[in-house]
Each structure stands twice: as structure tokens, then as C-alpha cells.
Structure 1
Amino acid sequence: MNKYEVKDMALAPSGHRKIEWVKANMPLLSALEKEFEVTKPFEGIKISLSIHMEAKTAYLCKVLAAGGAILSATGSNVLSTQDDVAAALADDGISIFAIHGADQETYNRHIEMCLEQKSNIIIDDGGDLVSMLHNERPDLAEEVWGGCEETTTGIIRLRAMEKEGALKFPMVAVNDADCKHLFDNRYGTGQSVWDSIMRNTNLIVAGKTVVVAGYGWCSRGIAMRAASLGAQVIVTEIDPIKAMEAKMDGHSVMTMGQAAPLGDIFVTATGCAGTIRMEHMEKMKNMAILANAGHFNVEIDMQALEEQAVSKKEMRNNIMGYTLKNGNTVNVLAEGRLVNIAAADGHPAEIMDLSFAVQAMSAMYIKDNYKNLENRVIDVSAEIDDVIARRKLAAWGIEIDTLTEEQEKYLNSWKL
């Protein structure tokens, strides 16, 4: 029997409806589910997942379960968990430990409960499973073959562990796959961040000055969509190459100190702590809006804001206003947590169809190859990217050209 800890099992029918909706819009995962039901590639294999517990990730769980996996799942962010979706998974017989708004102690306990089955494969989003297995409960890592990491922040942590020789098992960098970061990070984040900001503030974006911290793939998408909505975009960066890219993409580029008095809306997506600090917030306009699109709630210095603000009050659902000593108020969305999923529904289903197809196929790669893999961060193979891209195009009804024999010969010859 499955074990679970969710808020209310009576919410399950609502969760089932959400999962059915995304399933209808995720053709890659739907095809994999049908394939897995026949081939059972994960029969008897224990998989633990730490993911944003909402409908699209729930469907990934169901696809893996269809392949015979013994699943145990938890949330990767206390505000991204949707209680009805968690209840639906429990109703489907999956061991799930996730409650929206859980305190840190409960969150950590859920991660530990998720790992107690001593899994063979882990699927992580941000690195909390890996952290628990390496720091608090190394005894639970004895049967781990390897795993997959979903997001930029988690891969940063993994590469640091690999560099120090601390990584105990191989991890596939799912985030770095072309079918993930070029689409999920750019188009998914670009749309979902502005969906969240607009639905929570009910304010227009056109005519405003938007400051985007960072210019990686997530930030590119955020800046691109802000500009398409009519905003003037300022980008802050520490990387000179990315700063040049932002400039040539038509955005202004400056330091956060220079941008602070100019912005109406600030969005961070750097993967680094302290991107917006008190020294910046003290320069901001009255009623400036701050949102974080990075995985962890460290990019906006919330601790300093909580300590130094004169007062705070809830302005709207998911918006807390902090009045500073200078009399100005800054408004923070979703407690400074991942705004697109802590205060909205996350990326569109069609985008996550790509990302989770990469996850499922990378888990299969670990299962088939773990005996020959070193304890390091592994790139997703070009073959996996190619298969997923071709399947997605076919689902869209799109055909592309193929090389002729003469073209193949030309491209593989060094002679004119």
C-alpha cells in the first residue's frame, strides 16, 4: 500500500481534472505512457522525485508509474504544491508527501520520507534530494544508481559537488538539454512569469520599466515577453558576453544600483543570492513590484527586508507590501519565492511536455547505463534530444527535410 501525507483526500477529484487537462495537451508524455504500459521499462525500480507538485509533474509521475516504477514523491517548493493534485496522486496509489504552505521542518521531513524507500533513481528539481542524501541521510543513498536534475540552480550545486569530488552517484543535467533549456527556460518562463505577475497585480505592463536581473535563458524569455507587452526593459548582468547579448537584443544594460530608481517591476532569475539587496530597495520608487523567478527564495534579500521594514501588510493575495524607513513601499510577490509557480500554475503544458520527456528518457538512460557511469554530472545525449524533437514535430503535424546522399557526402568530406 502507498504511504502519503497530503492536506485533504477529499480534494482528489479536482486534482484528477487538472491532470486529465494537461494530459490532453502533452502528446509526448501520452505516447510514452502508452509505450511504458506495454514495455514496463521501470518494472520494480524505485524512483523518488522532488518536484513542483502540480498537474504537469503529477502526470510525469503517472507515466513513470505506468512503466512499472515504485514511486515516492514530494514537493520542491512549499508554495508550488497544489493540494488537490497531491491528493489525486495519493488516490492513484502513489506515495506522496506534500502540503501547500508547509513549514521548513515539515518540508524537510517530507523529503526524508520520500527517500526512505531507498530509491534506485532520483529525479530532483533544485537539488534538495541530493543534498539530503549527501548531508543528512547518506545511509539512504546506498541503492541509488543515479538521477536527473531539472533546473539550473540544482545543476550549479551538482557541479560544485563534482568539482570537490563529493558527488556519490551520476546525475544527468536535464536542464542543459536543448529540448529543455531552449524551450522550458525561455518560452515557458517568459510566459508563466508574466502570467503570474499580471494575474496577481492586475496591472498593465505596457509603458512600464521592467528590470530583469540576469540574462540566461530564463531571463531572456522574461525580457523578451516584457518587451512584447510594451515595457521598456533594463537588464543587469555580471557576465560581459551576456550583457552584450542583452544590448544587441535591444535592452538597456546597467548595474542594479543604476536600475533601482528607474524600475517599476523587478524580476530576478540569476540563481544567485542577494541579487536585490536593501541598498537597492531603498532607492526604488514607491510601490515598486519585486518578483523572483529563480528556484530558491534567496535572490531578493527577504531577511533584510523583514528586519528593516517599518511595517508590512498584505496588499492583495500573494502580494506583501513593505514600508521602508524612507516612507516608500515595495511590493513582493509570493514571499520572494518562485513567482510563476508559487503564485500561478507554472509553465504551459506543451512546454513541460518537452522537459518531462527528457526527464523520462534520461531516467531510462540511468537505468540502462549506471554500471558504466562515473559519479559526475552527465550531459543529455544528442540522440535523446533528436528523438524528442522529432516526436514533438510529428505531434504538431510538421515535416522537415532530410539530407540527400550527395548532401551527406558533401558535409562529411573535407575535399572540395
Structure 2
Amino acid sequence: MNYDIRDISLAAQGKRRIAWAAQHMPVLSQLSAEFAAERSFEGKRIAAALHITTETAVLLLALRAGGAEVALCASNPLSTKDDVCAALVEEGISVYAFYDEDIETYGRHIEQALACDPHLVMDDGADLIVALHQRAESGSTIAAIEETTTGVIRARALAEQKLLRFPVVAVNDAPTKHYFDNRYGTGQNTIDGILRATNTLLAGATLVVAGYGWCGRGVAARARGMGARVIVCEVNATRALEAVMDGFQVLPMLQAAELGDIFVTVTGIAGVIRGEHFQRMKDGAILANSGHFNVEIDIAALADSASERAQVREHLEEYRMPDGRKLYLLAQGRLVGQVAAEASPAAIMDLSFADQALCTRYLLQEYQHLTPDVHDVPAAIDERVAALKLRALGIELDSLNEQQEVYARSWQLGTVS
């Protein structure tokens, strides 16, 4: 086993924190026992590029329990927890990552993870998928799983251009992922990251959310719950209308720029907040991103506009404009909830990572029946994850009786039947 981490002596601390997360991930713990009994991944090599957190560790250890050989690198250079890396190395996983690695190291670690010649790649942002497609051949890789919106966009772009070489399952699009992880997980950790980085008061503040997908819905709801006035910016008419019906003001970013105290981007698109917006912002405006890559806020334009820069607090950088106004960028424009906070709670990641674990087994068994395209998570997997979670919470469901089953399948029964 090879690895490149910061400090192996942190393993004991990492194991304690992973154990705490596992206590709040009952679905994945059950699947881990199932995989171990079946040896579901015996002889299979998996390369993963993920946020290296305690919750991610629980997922990878479940795969390891099923017999998989796992190589791991980071999907974000600032979300890596060094003690988790050390703990995973001691558990037999090859880890190539450490907190705040530079971009050159980040790229090298991707190549080191892929050096295992994986049968399957597990991605968060599609960096592994893209790296494989930049090679002449993809080696032994037969399938991939993509966890986040931005990565699904990249995988679909490859598919649309007829370049995708193997099937990719879009875990991000599963209801048990985006209804919960994106809405409740990202909604909470984004607000958590902003508060930890700034210690600002949300009550009475105007918070601008760019993007009203499931992440944007979660951020907007939690900001309103803490007393903020929320403005939504959108390019999609249906989502904008939904924001209006949910009680939020909808404005173009050029107008919202003059009103916001805090700005949060959650779109998966580059250049959402740009130079013309910085020029209109009030003194003290705070800029945060909760999209996967640090491209949603035009950081280069912000730096070019500023006459001075200073680090005020950890994860809080001040940009002084020539006219004296100060704008504040959080977490270097990267995922604020992953960088400045603890990422999504374990109880939420239990769902997303259960989806990933079951899709891993599904792909390794069924890949030959799937075309090189982006595929949905099978409905049976999604339903099983939800059912397991409800059971873990002690919640029971109703079931249809025989008469209701007949009615549900009938076309004869109606108003005059």
C-alpha cells in the first residue's frame, strides 16, 4: 500500500471521530455488514475522489469490508481532514491527500489514485472521470459513480459529445440524495460555514442566494429561519417562479448586488458574481460559494478590482476597493460548508453514501448491460435506502390493502363505475 498524507500519527484521533460519525449512519453500517458477509467487492479496485471527511471514511470502510481495494484522493484541497487520512491508511486504504495541498499536488494525487488501474471510479466533481478521458485508454475502468451536480454536468457533456467510454450513475440525481443531502445538508453546512468564518448575525441581514436548485432551496430556507431577508437570483423561469411562490423576492444579480449583505452562490456555473456586481456592492458585503468548484465567484476580477488584500480571520479575506469599500471573500471561494465548517451531518450523508455503496455493487454486477451514458440510480436502490433509513428511525409506513391494490391497477373504476 502507498500513501501521501500529512501525518500518520493522527490516526488514533481520526478513528475516534470516524466512530462518532458511524454511530449516526445506521444505513451504511447495515450495508457494511451485508457487504462483509457477501464479500461483494472481492478482487475489485476502486479509485475515489471525494471530500475526505469522517462520513466519507465510513463509506470507504464499508467498501473495504466487502473486499475492495480502495485508493483515495481529495475532491477539494481545503476539505480534507488530515486525521481521517491517517486513520484510513491504518485501515488499509491508500490515501493521497492532505489539507491545503496546492493544485500541482492535487493533480499528482489524482494520478496516484488512478495508478491502481481501478475497475470503478467514485467521483465528486468528475476529476477522475475527466482524467481518464484525457488518456488514450481508460485501462480496466468499466463504470463510474458521480456524486455532485457539477460532476454530473461534466459527465453529461462527455456523453453528449459521444466521448464517454463507460456508464456513469448520477447519484446526485437520486431523490434520496438531492432531496436530503443537497437541501438539508448543504443548506445547513453553508450557513454553518458562513457563521464560523464571520460570526456575523443573520437576523435582519439581506442574504442573496444565486441558484434555486435543491441546494439553493436549502440555503434560502435556513437563512430565512434565522431571520434573514432572502433574495433569490435565477436563470430558470420555473425555479424562479417556485422561489416567488415560496415567498422570496427574485431579482437579477445586478439589482441584488446593491441590496445584499451576504451572497451565496449554489449554481454549478462559472462567473455568477462578476466585476460589474462587485462595483455595486455595499461596504462590508460578504461573498460565499457553496458550488463544487471555486469558479462561481470571479475571484480574479475581485483581486483586480481591489487596491489591497488582507487576511482578517481564518477563511475570511478582505478586499479593499479603491473607493474605500471592503468586500469579504470566504474560504477562498471554495465550498464554504466543507472548508469553514464540518460539511453535511453524518445522518444526512448516511443516505447519499448508502446510495453510492449500493450503486457500486450494482455497477460492478450490471455494467455490461449499460451503455456509455449517464444513468439514473435504479428506483429499487433509492427506495431501499429510504426504507432502511425510516426503519433505523423507528418509523413505520402504511401499506395498501387488497382492495386498494386492485384499485391502483384498475382502469374500470371511476365516477360512474
Amino acid aligned to 1:82: K
Paired residue secondary structure (1:48): strand
Structure-2 residue corresponding to 1:210: 207
Structure-1 residue corresponding to 2:123: 124
Task: Measure how far apart 1:282 and its partner are.
Answer: 1.3
Aligned runs of 1:60-209 on 2, under 5 Å? 60-135=59-134, 137-139=135-137, 141-209=138-206
Paired residue secondary structure (1:65): helix
Structure-2 residue corresponding to 1:320: 317
Contact 2:72 2:96 in 1 (8 A): yes
Paired residue secondary structure (1:206): coil
Structure-1 residue corresponding to 2:407: 410
Structure-1 residue corresponding to 2:301: 304
Paired residue secondary structure (2:359): helix
Asked if 1:56 is matched to 2:55, the reply is yes
Asked if 1:355 is matched to 2:342, the reply is no
Task: Measure how far apart 1:316 and its partner are.
Answer: 0.8
Amino acid aligned to 1:117: C
Contact 1:44 1:68 in 2 (8 A): yes
Kindly provide the CA deviation profile for residues 372-399 of structure 1, in whole angstroms up to 9, marking residues without a partner as x.
1100001001111111111000000000
Structure-2 residue corresponding to 1:338: 335
Q: Report the Cα distance in structure 2 between the residues aligned to 1:74 and 1:225, rounded to whole angstroms.
A: 31
Q: Report the Cα distance in structure 2 between the residues aligned to 1:81 and 1:74, rounded to whole angstroms.
A: 9
Q: Report the Cα distance in structure 2 between the residues aligned to 1:401 and 1:318, rounded to whole angstroms.
A: 48
Q: Report the Cα distance in structure 2 between the residues aligned to 1:25 and 1:134, rounded to whole angstroms.
A: 37
Paired residue secondary structure (2:101): coil
Moved over 4 A (4+): none
Amino acid aligned to 1:411: A
Amino acid aligned to 1:116: A
Contact 1:132 1:138 in 2 (8 A): no
Structure-2 residue corresponding to 1:12: 11
RMSD in angstroms over aligned alpha carbons? Answer: 0.8
Distance 1:82 1:138, change over 3 A: farther
Kindly provide the CA deviation profile for residues 279-318 of structure 1, in whole angstroms up to 9, marking residues without a partner as x.
1011111111110000000000001112221001011111
Which among 373, 395, 400 is matched to residue 398 of structure 1? 395
Distance 1:138 1:12, change over 3 A: farther
Paired residue secondary structure (1:159): helix
Asked if 1:233 is matched to 2:233, the reply is no
Which among 375, 384, 388 is matched to residue 385 of structure 2? 388
Which among 253, 261, 279 is matched to residue 250 of structure 2? 253
Paired residue secondary structure (2:11): helix
Q: Report the Cα distance in structure 2 between the residues aligned to 1:306 and 1:285, rounded to whole angstroms.
A: 17
Unaligned segments of structure 1, at least 5 residues: none
Distance 1:277 1:15, change over 3 A: same
Contact 1:83 1:99 in 2 (8 A): yes
Kindly provide the CA deviation profile for residues 62-96 of structure 1, in whole angstroms up to 9, marking residues without a partner as x.
11000000100010000001111111111111100
Contact 1:159 1:377 in 2 (8 A): yes
Paired residue secondary structure (1:355): helix
Paired residue secondary structure (1:4): coil
Task: Measure how far apart 1:326 and its partner are.
Answer: 2.0
Amino acid aligned to 2:124: D
Task: Measure how far apart 1:344 and its partner are.
Answer: 1.3
Paired residue secondary structure (1:73): strand
Paired residue secondary structure (1:5): coil
Q: Report the Cα distance in structure 1 between the residues aligned to 2:325 and 2:307, rounded to whole angstroms.
A: 10
Amino acid aligned to 1:39: E
Contact 1:120 1:145 in 2 (8 A): yes
Amino acid aligned to 2:218: G
Q: Report the Cα distance in structure 1 between the residues aligned to 2:75 and 2:313, rounded to whole angstroms.
A: 25
Q: Report the Cα distance in structure 2 between the residues aligned to 1:201 and 1:347, rounded to whole angstroms.
A: 19
Q: Report the Cα distance in structure 1 between the residues aligned to 2:196 and 2:379, rounded to whole angstroms.
A: 38
Asked if 1:3 is matched to 2:28, the reply is no
* TM norm structure 1: 0.98
Q: Report the Cα distance in structure 1 between the residues aligned to 2:305 and 2:130, rounded to whole angstroms.
A: 31
Q: Report the Cα distance in structure 2 between the residues aligned to 1:242 and 1:178, rounded to whole angstroms.
A: 17
Contact 2:196 2:340 in 1 (8 A): no
Q: Report the Cα distance in structure 2 between the residues aligned to 1:60 and 1:281, rounded to whole angstroms.
A: 41
Structure-2 residue corresponding to 1:277: 274
Paired residue secondary structure (2:33): helix
Amino acid aligned to 1:368: Q
Kindly provide the CA deviation profile for residues 308-334 of structure 1, in whole angstroms up to 9, marking residues without a partner as x.
210010111110000112211110100
Amino acid aligned to 1:334: A
Contact 1:74 1:111 in 2 (8 A): yes
Q: Report the Cα distance in structure 2 between the residues aligned to 1:310 and 1:391, rounded to whole angstroms.
A: 55
Amino acid aligned to 2:58: Y
Amino acid aligned to 2:97: A
Q: Report the Cα distance in structure 2 between the residues aligned to 1:16 and 1:312, rounded to whole angstroms.
A: 39
Aligned runs of 1:35-50 on 2, under 5 Å? 35-50=34-49
Q: Report the Cα distance in structure 1 between the residues aligned to 2:371 and 2:125, rounded to whole angstroms.
A: 21
* TM norm structure 2: 0.98
Q: Report the Cα distance in structure 1 between the residues aligned to 2:287 and 2:52, rounded to whole angstroms.
A: 24
Structure-2 residue corresponding to 1:266: 263
Q: Report the Cα distance in structure 1 between the residues aligned to 2:323 and 2:172, rounded to whole angstroms.
A: 42
Contact 1:282 1:326 in 2 (8 A): no
Q: Report the Cα distance in structure 2 between the residues aligned to 1:386 and 1:81, rounded to whole angstroms.
A: 31
